[in-house]
A and B are shown apart, each in its own frame.
Chain A
Amino acid sequence: MAKQINLTLKVWRQNRGQEGKFETYEAKNIDTDASFLEMLDVVNDELTLKGIEPIAFEHDCREGICGCCGSTVNGKTHGSHERTTLCQLHMRHFEDGQNVVIEPFRATAFPVIKDLIVDRSGLDQIIAEGGYVSVKTGNAPEASTTPIKKEMAEAAMDAAECIGCGACVAACPNGSAMLFTSAKVSQYALLPQGHPERAQRVKNMVGKMDELGFGNCSNEYECAVACPKGIDVKNIARLNREFIKASLTSEK
């Protein structure tokens, strides 16, 4: 049954081009059936009416699929709940009177824009290097021409579930985007449609990742723990195999 709780929030506030700092706010009478973002809505309404600028945070679908939301809550990306984005984290997982520290996703490649909002456009740039099959509209053969083993299709779908939230980057001590990148590389390595471009794809995407200041992967696997979609670290192993294969072939 739902009840109401009170919390003390320590929230990171930062304006564009300035240093940031923590501010303390009380979150009062929060319904435990509310989501974490709905709790922030309640706090923001109060701040607004007190003449304080509301806390900026990114969100859109509030269903765990768009990948917009994400903050580090008490040191954990998206809060502490397994396979759950921040928008799907519910207040029933918090205790009355608890202190809650809320910070933006921190990584060298994710500069803060304002408060809890960071710039994750690096992830788009990695995709632009080859996170697709280069087929033009109109080129496609009849869909049933190529049967694909069910297990392969399922494994590709497991990898394709990544929502691009960037939690893996923020959780990684090196700020690496390896889990994110490997998920895309894997999807196309597993499907025949992805094969013509596979060597180029992995080289270009990894190259871009390095160029943008994402760190190296040192097999800490914090990323997979943090991932709200359960993207598996075996994708990283697959990326490494793809990369080695690509480097061995002279193919460009």
Chain B
Amino acid sequence: MKLDAKIPEGPMAEKWTNHKFKVKLVNPSNKRKHKVIIVGSGLAGASAAATMSELGYQVHCFTYSDSPRRAHSIAAQGGINAAKNYPNDGDSIYRLFYDTVKGGDFRSREANVHRLAECSNQIIDHCVAQGIPFAREYGGYLDNRSFGGAQVSRTFYARGQTGQQLLLGAYGALSKEIKKGGVTMYTREEVIDVVVIDGQARGIISRNLVTGELSRHEADAVVLATGGYGNVFFLSTNAMNCNASAAWRAYKKGAAFANPCYTQIHPTCIPVHGEYQSKLTLMSESLRNDGRIWVPKAKGDKRPANQIPEDERDYYLERKYPSFGNLVPRDLASRNAKMVCDEGRGVGPTGNAVYLDFAEAIERLGKDAIVAKYGNLFEMYNRITDEDPYTTPMMIFPAVHYTMGGLWVDYNLMTSLPGLYAIGECNFSDHGANRLGASALMQGLADGYFVIPNTINDYLASNKLPKVGTDHEAFAEAEKAAQDKLDKLLAVNGKRTVDDFHKELGHLLWENCGMGRNEKGLKEALEKIPKIREEFWKDVNVPGSADDLNQALEKANRVADFMEFAELMVKDALMRAESCGGHFREESQTDEGEALRNDDEFCFVGAWEFAGLDKEPILHKEHLEFEEVHLTQRSYK
């Protein structure tokens, strides 16, 4: 496998424009002859499906949900970035590009990031035209707020439900195309393999989640928009059904997997409170605009928050990072929370929490202003914890939230498997080793509305794509392999539930490949994962049958993939003996305990190629060049 990023020639700011001019176009009357499969109806999938159907392609879109509107994107709270510079605070496309490259700790591809920043403004234009009710000021103009990792206000938002409103906009556009007949929508249909013929992705195998029936679908190209793999940790802020299976099956069919060790641990989540816990709830990062983070100065101080006097509190982020304060990037905020808890200064029943305090903001702005800004988040916090954040500080702790790693893609967003594309969170493209707040929504929509509709034509126009027919042996083989795996899962008939195994795997990853990682812990995890996997295949209990709606079977099939994926993730973390962004290798830190990058050895994307079952995967390095933003150690001091 040879990775070619296909970065266009020319100055950074002109690459995308030049590229759009140079790529081959498909003539309008030929577009309808091309069938494209899109897997996923989140922000990336729905926006791509709608736009490609508008252009005239025959689009077939798949989701495992009962409706495209339910995709995990719906849960995004805080907002979406764009370089509009409406507040007149010095923002620009260049600054958004710069912040994103720096925020990603110099592990992303500059050309992709620049394009993202360029598309950001068009996204807002389009979303406003769709009737998305973004927050506005009294003059009727769009309001902005600031978010971690940036010193300008460039985040557009719709209360605490920005993802919901953006997704409903994209879902509306998708619905419009479904009604017109341009998109054929498959709901409750899970894609379980990618079919490769003559080295090209030519279709998929899917399973109807109501009847259990497997079916074959042929296409000229397949686009995965299947989201991130955060649920490999069991507990995360991701929706319960998020999984890595489609990307993992693609990997096993020849698509390289890049930087799987880059996971983002979000600093402001509601702390874990019991064994029964099924997921973690995010408290939007926007809260850090007004909330102040602190712990007691003294270890083991068990007094209630309101009895700890001001001078016995440590506002550790404000103290250590005076210029960014509570708005440092996520990885710093999370790691510092872990540090103070490890020192024994954590609060709450488990000692694994820090305070996020609004007392000062309420005094400064009045309670009404806080209600208007964060009312629904406070309500959610109260519903879950039964505490009132207007009078008692919130308790928060970091949780797995987002995955920067994903399928390797070139500038056109095509994976290393020709004809297979990856967009949105499931690719590795734009965020390097750490994603800045409010930029995942931006990326999903940039990829779907503006990038892939302009790049996929290059492939479709320059390749012969003869009809292959779903009776081709590659389809038959893939279908049989899928059926065999389901039968095998049902046949184990062991004594432990799927969740029980998933929790064991997740716990191991959280401890050994979570916020802090070291060689010893990673090697230990590498020894344990194959054992857990073996146990899984010997002792899992999956009730019910394959020809029915069977949620345990769906879950087992996904967890089986997590069991394999986890190993690659840990291998990648072990290989990368440097700290960068969300990947903190304890061996690689400064005297002050800050992450220490090693650009001489690790300034590359680590893309892994599947070499066969029980064989070591092959590492390919895409070296990163920084023409515009010069490599420096990040500092938010």
Seen from chain A, the residues whose Cβ lies within 8 Å of a Cβ on chain B are 2, 15-16, 31, 33-35, 37-39, 41-42, 45, 48-49, 51-54, 56, 58-68, 84, 88, 90, 92, 113-114, 117, 119-121, 123-124, 127-129, 131-144, 146-150, 153-154, 156-157, 160-161, 163-164, 187-188, 191, 193-194
Given A143-B128, A148-B136, A128 contacting B175 (CB threshold 8 A): yes
User: Once the chains bind, are A42 and B131 in contact (CB under 8 Å)?
Assistant: no
Q: Which of B127, B453, B495 is within 8 Å of A49, CB to CB?
A: B495
Which A residues are CB-close (under 8 A) to B386? Answer: 33, 90, 92
Nearest-CB residue, chain A, relative to B495: A49
CB distance from A58 to the nearest CB of B (A): 7
Within 8 A of A (CB), among B427-444: none
CB distance from A136 to the nearest CB of B (A): 5
Nearest-CB residue, chain A, relative to B277: A38
B124 at the interface (CB under 8 A from A): yes
CA distance A42 to B499 in the complex (A): 11
User: Once the chains bind, are B66 and A144 in contact (CB under 8 Å)?
Assistant: no
CB distance from A108 to the nearest CB of B (A): 18
Q: Which of B121, B140, B276, B544 is within 8 Å of A149, CB to CB?
A: B140
User: Once the chains bind, are B274 and A59 in contact (CB under 8 Å)?
Assistant: no
User: Once the chains bind, are A131 and B172 in contact (CB under 8 Å)?
Assistant: yes
B369 at the interface (CB under 8 A from A): no
User: Once the chains bind, are A143 and B278 in contact (CB under 8 Å)?
Assistant: no
CB distance from B581 to the nearest CB of A (A): 26
Nearest-CB residue, chain A, relative to B176: A132
Interface size on B, residues (CB 8 A): 83
User: Once the chains bind, are B66 and A61 in contact (CB under 8 Å)?
Assistant: no
Q: How many A-B residue pairs have CB under 8 A?
A: 219
CA distance A227 to B545 in the complex (A): 35
CB distance from A166 to the nearest CB of B (A): 10
User: Once the chains bind, are A128 and B499 in contact (CB under 8 Å)?
Assistant: no
CA distance A113 to B497 in the complex (A): 24
User: Once the chains bind, are B70 and A60 in contact (CB under 8 Å)?
Assistant: yes
B122 at the interface (CB under 8 A from A): yes
Which B residues are CB-close (under 8 A) to A38? Answer: 276-278
Which A residues are CB-close (under 8 A) to B137? Answer: 150
Which B residues are CB-close (under 8 A) to A124? Answer: 67-69, 175, 187
Which B residues are CB-close (under 8 A) to A187? Answer: 131, 133
CB distance from A16 to the nearest CB of B (A): 7
CB distance from A213 to the nearest CB of B (A): 18
User: Once the chains bind, are B450 and A137 in contact (CB under 8 Å)?
Assistant: yes
User: Once the chains bind, are A41 and B130 in contact (CB under 8 Å)?
Assistant: no
Which B residues are CB-close (under 8 A) to A67? Answer: 67, 69-70, 74
Which A residues are CB-close (under 8 A) to B282? Answer: 63
CA distance A109 to B385 in the complex (A): 36
CA distance A63 to B160 in the complex (A): 12
User: Once the chains bind, are A62 and B541 in contact (CB under 8 Å)?
Assistant: no
Given A121-B66, A153-B135, A60 contacting B239 (CB threshold 8 A): yes
User: Once the chains bind, are B449 and A137 in contact (CB under 8 Å)?
Assistant: yes
User: Once the chains bind, are A153 and B134 in contact (CB under 8 Å)?
Assistant: yes
CB distance from B166 to the nearest CB of A (A): 11
Which B residues are CB-close (under 8 A) to A128? Answer: 175-176, 178-179
B158 at the interface (CB under 8 A from A): yes
B129 at the interface (CB under 8 A from A): yes
B612 at the interface (CB under 8 A from A): no
Residue of A58, A59, A61 most packed against chain B (CB within 10 A): A61
User: Once the chains bind, are B541 and A157 in contact (CB under 8 Å)?
Assistant: no
CA distance A54 to B500 in the complex (A): 15
User: Once the chains bind, are A193 and B278 in contact (CB under 8 Å)?
Assistant: no
User: Once the chains bind, are A119 and B66 in contact (CB under 8 Å)?
Assistant: yes
B528 at the interface (CB under 8 A from A): no
CB distance from A211 to the nearest CB of B (A): 14
Within 8 A of A (CB), among B37-83: 47, 50-51, 54, 65-70, 72, 74-75
Q: Knowing that A33-B273, A48-B543 are A-B contacts, what are 5 other residue pairs whose CB atoms are under 8 Å apart, sorted by A's residue number?
A: A49-B495, A68-B65, A128-B176, A187-B131, A191-B131
Could you jot down 27 A-B contacts, CB within 8 Å? A16-B211, A33-B274, A33-B386, A45-B497, A48-B543, A60-B72, A61-B72, A62-B240, A62-B281, A64-B380, A65-B161, A66-B239, A84-B383, A92-B386, A114-B549, A119-B66, A124-B68, A134-B176, A135-B173, A137-B126, A140-B122, A143-B124, A143-B125, A153-B135, A160-B133, A160-B165, A193-B129
CA distance A92 to B382 in the complex (A): 12
B142 at the interface (CB under 8 A from A): yes
Given A61-B72, A113-B210, A127 contacting B171 (CB threshold 8 A): yes
CA distance A49 to B130 in the complex (A): 49
B105-145 to A contact mask, C-beta < 8 Å, 1/0: 00000000000000001101111111111111111111000
Which A residues are CB-close (under 8 A) to B130? Answer: 132-133, 135, 193
B17 at the interface (CB under 8 A from A): no
User: Once the chains bind, are A133 and B129 in contact (CB under 8 Å)?
Assistant: yes
Which B residues are CB-close (under 8 A) to A194? Answer: 131
B32 at the interface (CB under 8 A from A): no
Within 8 A of A (CB), among B373-394: 380, 383-386
Q: Which 8 A-B residue pairs are closest in the complex by CB-CB distance? A: A132-B172, A147-B140, A140-B129, A157-B133, A140-B125, A193-B131, A156-B133, A143-B128
B548 at the interface (CB under 8 A from A): yes
B144-172 to A contact mask, C-beta < 8 Å, 1/0: 00000000000000110100110011011
CA distance A53 to B543 in the complex (A): 6
Residue of A34, A49, A153, A156 most packed against chain B (CB within 10 A): A153
User: Once the chains bind, are A49 and B142 in contact (CB under 8 Å)?
Assistant: no
User: Once the chains bind, are A66 and B70 in contact (CB under 8 Å)?
Assistant: yes
User: Once the chains bind, are B380 and A63 in contact (CB under 8 Å)?
Assistant: yes
User: Once the chains bind, are A65 and B74 in contact (CB under 8 Å)?
Assistant: yes
User: Once the chains bind, are A143 and B176 in contact (CB under 8 Å)?
Assistant: no
Nearest-CB residue, chain B, relative to A155: B133
User: Once the chains bind, are B125 and A153 in contact (CB under 8 Å)?
Assistant: no
Which A residues are CB-close (under 8 A) to B84? Answer: 143-144
Residue of B161, B276, B386, B552 most packed against chain A (CB within 10 A): B276
CA distance A193 to B127 in the complex (A): 11
Nearest-CB residue, chain A, relative to B281: A63
CA distance A123 to B541 in the complex (A): 36
User: Once the chains bind, are A127 and B134 in contact (CB under 8 Å)?
Assistant: no
User: Once the chains bind, are A90 and B172 in contact (CB under 8 Å)?
Assistant: no
CB distance from B77 to the nearest CB of A (A): 9
Nearest-CB residue, chain A, relative to B448: A137
B86 at the interface (CB under 8 A from A): yes
CA distance A66 to B171 in the complex (A): 13
User: Once the chains bind, are A131 and B175 in contact (CB under 8 Å)?
Assistant: yes
CB distance from B385 to the nearest CB of A (A): 8
Which B residues are CB-close (under 8 A) to A160? Answer: 132-133, 158, 165, 168
Q: Which of B129, B131, B171 is within 8 Å of A139, CB to CB?
A: B129
Given A31-B276, A136-B54, A148-B140, A68 contacting B172 (CB threshold 8 A): no
Which B residues are CB-close (under 8 A) to A142? Answer: 125
CA distance A134 to B131 in the complex (A): 10
Q: Which of A15, A127, A147, A150 is within 8 Å of B172, CB to CB?
A: A127
CB distance from A164 to the nearest CB of B (A): 6
B279 at the interface (CB under 8 A from A): yes
Which B residues are CB-close (under 8 A) to A144? Answer: 84, 86, 141-142
B215 at the interface (CB under 8 A from A): no
User: Once the chains bind, are A153 and B133 in contact (CB under 8 Å)?
Assistant: yes
CB distance from A36 to the nearest CB of B (A): 11
